Amino acid sequence: MNDYEELRSIANEIAESVGTEVAERRSGGFVWSTKSSTSDVVTEIDTWAEDEIVRRITEKRPRDGLLGEEGTSTPGSTGVVWVIDPIDGTTNFLYDIPGYGISIGVQVDGAAVAGAVFDPVRLELFSAALGQGAARNGQPISPSPANELSTALVITGFSYQAEMRREQARILETVLPAVRDIRRLGGAALDLCAIACGRADASYERGLSPWDSIAGALIAREAGAIVDVGELTWASAPGIADAFQSLLERAQA
C-alpha cells in the first residue's frame, strides 16, 4: 500500500464511522445557531463531528496538520494537511433532507492526494487517491457518457450571502435555458461525487471553501471527470466539458 492509499484508507474509515454516528445523533435532537448569515447554519453535531474527526486523525497521524470548517486550524510538521467538513450540507441536515455528508480531504504540500466523502442517508462512501482512481463503496466509478450540453442535468449551489446569490441568479438565467435541467441537491462535496459516478452530468458553484471541494474534486477528477477548482468551481463529464466551460464563461460575461 503506497502512502496515498494509506491516507485514503484512514479518511474512508473515519468518514464512514463518524458519518454513521452523525445520522444516529440527528434523531436524538440537537441545538443549532447561525454564523455568517441567517442561512448559514451550524449545529452542535457539526461541532461534535469535527472534534471527533480531529481526535481520530490525531491518534493515527499526530504530526499532520488539520483544517476544519468549524474552526480547527492546527499546523503540522509533515507537509500533510487533513481538510475537514464535518457536515457538508448542514441546511439539509437541519431539515432532514438527503444531500448532506462528511468530507475529509488530504493534501500533501498543498496538493490533494486522497479524500473520502460519506453519505449517511444513501450509505455511500466515495473515495479516491491520487493516481489510483475513484470508487463508491469500493467499486470503480466513472462520469456519465453525456455528449450534448442541451440534454445535460446540471447541479449547482448557492452562497449564504445575499449579494452573491443575486449574481448566482443572474448566471442561472443563462445556464438554465441551455441544459436539460438544474438541480440544487445539498452539499458541494456530494455534488462533485454525483458527477464522478454519472448521477448528473455537470456541476458548478461559486465561492467554495477548501473543505467543500478538496475531497470531492479529487474524487471527480480521479473518476475521469473534467474539474476546474477556483472562484467558480465546476466539474463535468468529459464529453460536454468544453461546451459547459464556454457556457459558464458566457454566463459570467
pTM: 0.93
With 50 as the cut, is the pLDDT of residue 234 above it? yes
pLDDT at 138: 97
Q: What is the DSSP string of the chain?
A: --HHHHHHHHHHHHHHHHHHHHHHHHTT---EEESSSTT-EEEHHHHHHHHHHHHHHHHH-TTSEEEETTS-EE--SSSEEEEEEEEETHHHHHHT-S--EEEEEEEETTEEEEEEEEETTTTEEEEEETTS-EEETTEE--------GGG-EEEE---SSHHHHHHHHHHHHHHGGGSSEEE--S-HHHHHHHHHTTSSSEEEEES--HHHHHHHHHHHHHHT-EEE-SSEEEEE-GGGHHHHHHHHHHHH-
Q: Percent of the chain at pLDDT above 70?
A: 93
pLDDT at 38: 58
Mean per-residue pLDDT of the chain: 92
pLDDT digits (tens, 9 = 90+) for 45-65: 888 899 999 999 999 999 999
With 80 as the cut, is the pLDDT of residue 37 above it? no
pLDDT digits (tens, 9 = 90+) for 95-144: 899 999 999 999 999 999 999 999 999 999 999 999 999 999 999 999 99
